[in-house]
Amino acid sequence: MDEKDVILAKYGDAEAIEKVFLRYKTNILRNSKSLFIKGGDIDDLLQEGYIGLMKAIKSYDQSREVCFSTFANLCIKRQIITAVKSSNSNKNQKLNTSIIGDKEVNLDDLAQYSKPSLTFYSPEDILLGKELVGELGEFLNKTLTPLEKKVFLYTCKQYRYNEIAEILNEPSKKIDNAIQRVRKKVLGYLAEYTKG
């Protein structure tokens, strides 16, 4: 999928929207698998994922140097997590309680589900994370070889190593080795960063 499709989708092109939706269907399924909405089902989560994707399409700004796939995945996850958090809150506690015979039973006790463990970050954590991403970007820009930079870019866009090999017209093994070198550099940088 091309970023041109995203721009066309942003301006309402139905064919481009369909292409983008088809491209992200797997990502939405993956993000929905381990979560649960009280009183809902997987279709509700999928719908939230598509809402998140639509929000990503509408608010994507290509002038910022962020690839659409990264931005879209973030919007999809946030939308799904917000829906889960909202549905799993005790906001509708009275509605979720029934009386069976003369005994009050909480419907939550009857439903068997696993609550997802959600992590929410403070503004300080978010700011520090953005700072880390900026510094990591500078580090990678200085230390990656031209091939590693290309491989890293395609990896961020969620291409598989065999697809990258085909695009760059390089042997799969060479691409796999480049991915491993990039991973090692990133992990090394992060290990040093957390020490400081």
- 83 and 9 inside one domain: yes
Are the beta carbons of 164 and 122 closer than 8 angstroms? Answer: no
- The predicted structure's pLDDT at residue 90: 53
Which residue, among 74, 51, 79, 78, has the nearest Cα to 64 in the 3D structure? Answer: 74
Are the beta carbons of 74 and 49 closer than 8 angstroms? Answer: no
Number of domains present in the structure of the chain: 2
Model confidence pLDDT, tens digit, residues 56-106: 888 877 777 777 888 888 888 888 888 777 776 655 444 444 444 444 444
- 21 and 70 inside one domain: yes
Q: Rounded mean pLDDT of 11-37?
A: 79
- The predicted structure's pLDDT at residue 107: 42
Residue 14 sits in which domain range?
3-89
Q: Alpha helix (H) ranges present in 33-67?
A: 42-59
The answer to whether residue 105 sits within a structural domain is no
Model confidence pLDDT, tens digit, residues 123-137: 666 667 777 778 888
Cβ within 8 Å of residue 182, ≥6 positions away: 140, 144, 148, 151, 152, 155
Domain end position, chosen among 64, 89, 114: 89
Model confidence pLDDT, tens digit, residues 159-192: 887 889 999 999 989 998 998 998 898 888 888 8
The answer to whether residue 158 sits within a structural domain is yes
- 17 and 59 inside one domain: yes
- 136 and 85 inside one domain: no
